[in-house]
Structure 1
Amino acid sequence: MEFGPLQMLVVVFDEPHFTGEVLNELRRLREHDIVRLVDMLVVRKDEHGELSTLETSDLTKEELHEFGVVVGSLVGFGAEGEEGIKKGAEAGAAILGGGVFDDEERWEVADSVPAGAAAAIALLEHRWALPLRDAIAKAGGKAVTDAWIHPADFVATGAALAAEHQLKKSPE
């Protein structure tokens, strides 16, 4: 099984106004094979503290097992080199056999959500990136680094540039 780049997305809804738009957009992205939902946990508490949860994945049990093998192998390789691959693969398969989030993590998320709020944690696979990654590899290229750039990053850059400009402008 081939996996594209993964993104862990954590979203907090202080005053949730769920109308189905978020799920509809996620469904659209999945239907067009833009993203695949490796796992998603949504936790909501009403005003009285009553908890409701939703956990879902696009992966079958077999695919989740294979995902665990791949992730565990990479972690094992990073920890112990080639000797760690087998141990990591076995551990990853065992850990992810029931999903990305275990019971303790589910309760930690639930405990952190205040009454009247909600939170969602999604592990998304970016399927659109697979053909681009393959084309880059065929051309002899390799990724050196990558990062998500958010609008707040541009604002911070502008603030830093303004502060730098102000320092240069002010008399000493």
Structure 2
Amino acid sequence: MYEFTEADLKSNQRGFLTQGQRDYLKTIGEGGVRVQKGNIKFAVFFMFLGLCITLGLYLQNEDSRAALFSNPLNILVFPAIIVIVGLVLAFSVWLARRISELLKKADLKVAEGKIRLDSHFNSGAGFTSYYVYVGKKRFGFTDDMSHTFKEGEKYRVYYVKVSAYELIMSYEKM
């Protein structure tokens, strides 16, 4: 959650984001793009590792070499894999850039109502998700927010929503 100032709250009350809040959103968007670009190195490495292992196994003895070269489609699979993985990686970077641009132009939204706190332990993943309901609007957190929001009290929350990102920019107790 963005650590807002009184000036941020006043600007949000008027329906605007401050430059500091816009910079925060820009940083989050650019971070997503950097992560996707960083993932490309790992994906390409493991793709080529898998291709090398597969080719190594095929070329290990005469029978498997004969099986590999018996059908031209067997050879065409390797470049096809490279093209498909390349397209998936390019799409993921494009999507991250698009979300980054949308975050830079995000509109401020408002939710208000009584606070209800909830949590859910995911035994498969081994962690707890915490939820804050403001009226009917649900916000998810990785930390317990009971120290920030008091159950049953009325709040107004200013937030932005872009794709999977739902970020609280400021809030006020009513």
TM-score for both structures, normalised by structure 1? 0.27
Q: Larger radius of gyration, structure 1 or 2?
A: 2
TM-score for both structures, normalised by structure 2? 0.27
Greater relative contact order: 1 or 2 (C-alpha under 8 angstroms, separation 6 or more)?
Answer: 1
